[in-house]
Structure 1
Amino acid sequence: MPSFGEQLSQLRKTNNLKAEDLADIVGVKRRIVFMYEKNESKPSFDVLIALADYFNVSLDYLVGRSDEPKRK
């Protein structure tokens, strides 16, 4: 299964978002988004929830614990 960083990068690119735009959406700096995508940093729980809500995916999908993106 993909890592959190791989999943985030794929979701961002699939949704045609720049890292800067995603950073603004979840309230972090652009470089932090890149650090997440490279698995160099882990987001806070609040940021994880904001990402899952924005992309409308489950937390399990976002962190690579499920192949099913839909929330149950």
Structure 2
Amino acid sequence: MANFQERLKELKNDSSMSYQELADYLGISLRAVQHYSSGARTPDIDGLIKIADFYEVSLDYLVGRSEKREIC
């Protein structure tokens, strides 16, 4: 199964949204999002929920616990 960093990269590549747009939505720097993507940092639970909401996927999908993208 994929991990968070792999899913974040996949979601970014599958969408028309940039990491800068994600950073703006989260209220953090672009560099912080790049750290998430590289695995240097991991967002807290609130950040994970916001990222899942931004990409309209389930939290389980985002963190690699499920292959279903849909939010139940």
TM-score w.r.t. length of structure 2: 0.90
CA distance in 2, matches of 1:28, 1:16: 19
Gap runs ≥5 in structure 1: none
Task: Name the count of aligned residue pairs.
Answer: 72
Match of 2:7 in 1: 7
Percent identical pairs in the alignment equals 39
Q: Please report the RMSD computed on the Cα atoms of aligned residues, expressed in angstroms.
A: 1.0
Deviation string, structure 1 residues 17-57 (Cα, Å, up to 9, x no partner): 22111100111110111111111111011111111111111
Point out 4+ residue stretches in structure 1 off by more than 6 angstroms.
Answer: none
CA distance in 2, matches of 1:56, 1:17: 12
TM-score w.r.t. length of structure 1: 0.90
